[in-house]
Structure 1
Amino acid sequence: MEWSLPFQFPFMVNAMLISVMIAVPAGLLSCFLVLKGWSLMGDAISHAVLPGVVLAYIAGIPLGIGAFLAGMACAGLTGFIDENSRVKRDTVMGVVFSGMFGLGIVMYTKIESDVHLDHILFGNMLGIGTADLWQTGVIAVVVTALMAFFWRDLLLHAFDEQQARAQGLPVRALHFGLLAVISLVVVAALTAVGIILAIAFLVAPGAIAFLLTKRFGVMLWLSMGIATVSSVLGVYASFFLDSAPAPTIVLLMTAAFVAAFLNARRVARRAMG
């Protein structure tokens, strides 16, 4: 039957598998980024990993290691400048991530590589291999386990950092732990959706769930569900549309956000009237 055609091709099945692997931890993390107002931080780290990817290629080490170290370097540099200047954090992040992204582009043009820049920027979901699936799977399990174990501490840290400090929580450790988790998810998403589109997985599911519920527990489950369903449907639809899977997934998430926004407005008007 025509509807089952995508499932007859191993590369399509692998694309669906890796997209779901990314969707679960990204959906969880997205809720905390939305509540904490860290959407731009996710964007900054996702762009800043490019020079780390290039250096890892030159050194002959896994690209994920270089991406993770570059992401943490971006986060650390942003935090240092933020704490030692009068410039606001969002301004610092804008300068740092654009600078590191520009550095990565310049470095990439100076080396001979068999890795196409489009695959780094926009992913290569249909060309992933077993090693990519294992790397993404391990990161997904680790991140999901950490988020599930520390979600109460992270929630208080996101809502009220001063209250978290007053209750004796290791605020600084939670801060950099969250940054490390963002970097790990970006590394997991690097092969599948690329640097540019990784931010959609880090922001859209949580933003949609935030519009649909006021209960954080429900928000977590909704965010994971939205990310997972969008990923599977996006890969599936891309087969028939003859489009790239990652942008198709992002378009579905965008459409879901618009629908959730319109629904929230309708509910608000009904409550007022």
Structure 2
Amino acid sequence: MTDFIDLFSYAFFQNALLASILTSVLAGIIGTYVVARRSVFISGGITHASFGGMGIAYYFGFPPFLGAGIFAILSSLGIEWTSNKAGLREDSAIAILWSLGMAIGIIFVFLTPGYTPNLMGFLFGDILTVKQTDLIWLGAISLSVVLLIRFFYDAIIITAFDPDYAKTTGLPVKTIRYTVSIFIAIAIVLSIKVMGIILVLSLFTIPPSAANLFSKSYKKVMFLAVVISLVGSIIGLFMAYVFDLPSGATIILTLTGFYTISRIYKLLATK
């Protein structure tokens, strides 16, 4: 027990807890938006496409997450543009960018001379390696997302679910949707450090899906999703320490367990 309490004295564990809180805010707010729009695989497409930016950045000696951020933003804007302007179905655009990004990333990592980076950290993440710089970026984007929802909630919701009506009210539909797409891309890239490319999609999907079992109000679902993500992340982090397991995978298993229990409870409650 003493060893467990002593964990809080270590900077890496303090950083991991802060990262859990900040990513929970992002997962709850952004994830609720994505799930409600039934565009879950947009997150997956952006996430996997960003790997292409990582590979290119590694090859040319730049920070990998800078490349991932640029690729993610371009991918999110590309998905939005092709589905609205180019006549290409959204799911087709996602599939193309998903596979293209992964292919580019793998090729450039392979071509990088000398030491080949450990892909496991990118694919599965490691919350225990989060640094102060990562926390600053996570804090900045989390605050920006909260302020965006606080001041532009109605405009974002109307534009997302009824763009035709939004146009009649004079709202800049394209600007709003592109802006939201950029925020989604940045949130995903920053969360990759914590959960990895493979698991980050679940982080943005499971909490709002579980929250939706208890409420149909968008605002309540968003709030519950943040809470569920936070509780699941902290419990998963502690379990990873106790059982010496990968933190990202343990957090997702915890969230999945919470969703499963919630689903069973709702089924029994309706009988």
Between 60-69 and 218-227, the greater mean CA deviation after superposition: 60-69
| Equivalent residues of 2:58, 2:109 under 8 A apart | no
User: Tell me, which stretches of 5 or more residues in structure 1 are unaligned?
Assistant: none
| Equivalent residues of 1:72, 1:180 under 8 A apart | yes
Shift of 1:23: 1.0
Distance across 1 between alignment mates of 2:21 and 2:160: 26
| Equivalent residues of 1:213, 1:219 under 8 A apart | yes
Distance across 2 between alignment mates of 1:150 and 1:101: 34
Match of 1:229?
Answer: 231
Alignment of 1:1-273 (within 5 A): 1-2=1-2, 3-83=4-84, 87-112=88-113, 113=115, 115-267=117-269, 269-270=270-271
Distance across 1 between alignment mates of 2:48 and 2:42: 10
Amino acid at match of 2:186: L
Cα deviation digits, residues 137-161 of structure 1 (max 9, x gap): 2222222222332222222223322
Distance change in 2, residues 1:101/1:170 (3 Å): same
Between 60-69 and 206-215, the greater mean CA deviation after superposition: 60-69
Shift of 1:84: 5.4
User: Tell me, which stretches of 5 or more residues in structure 2 are unaligned?
Assistant: none
Shift of 1:85: 5.7
Between 7-16 and 167-176, the greater mean CA deviation after superposition: 7-16
Between 168-177 and 74-83, the greater mean CA deviation after superposition: 74-83
TM-score, scaled to structure 1: 0.90
Distance change in 2, residues 1:145/1:83 (3 Å): closer
Between 56-65 and 33-42, the greater mean CA deviation after superposition: 56-65
Which protein, 1 or 2, shows the higher relative CO under an 8 Å CA cutoff with sep ≥ 6? 1
Aligned length: 269
| Equivalent residues of 1:35, 1:158 under 8 A apart | no
Across the aligned residues of Structure 1 and Structure 2, the Cα RMSD in angstroms comes to 2.0
TM-score, scaled to structure 2: 0.90
Distance change in 2, residues 1:194/1:114 (3 Å): same
Shift of 1:47: 0.8
Secondary structure at the residue paired with 2:107?
A: helix
| Equivalent residues of 1:19, 1:232 under 8 A apart | yes
Secondary structure at the residue paired with 2:204?
A: helix
| Equivalent residues of 2:53, 2:101 under 8 A apart | no
Cα deviation digits, residues 5-47 of structure 1 (max 9, x gap): 4324332222121121111122111111111111010111011
Shift of 1:82: 2.9
Secondary structure at the residue paired with 2:170?
A: coil
| Equivalent residues of 1:140, 1:188 under 8 A apart | no
Distance across 2 between alignment mates of 1:180 and 1:69: 10
| Equivalent residues of 2:58, 2:112 under 8 A apart | no
Distance across 1 between alignment mates of 2:23 and 2:126: 14
| Equivalent residues of 1:197, 1:250 under 8 A apart | yes
Amino acid at match of 2:45: A
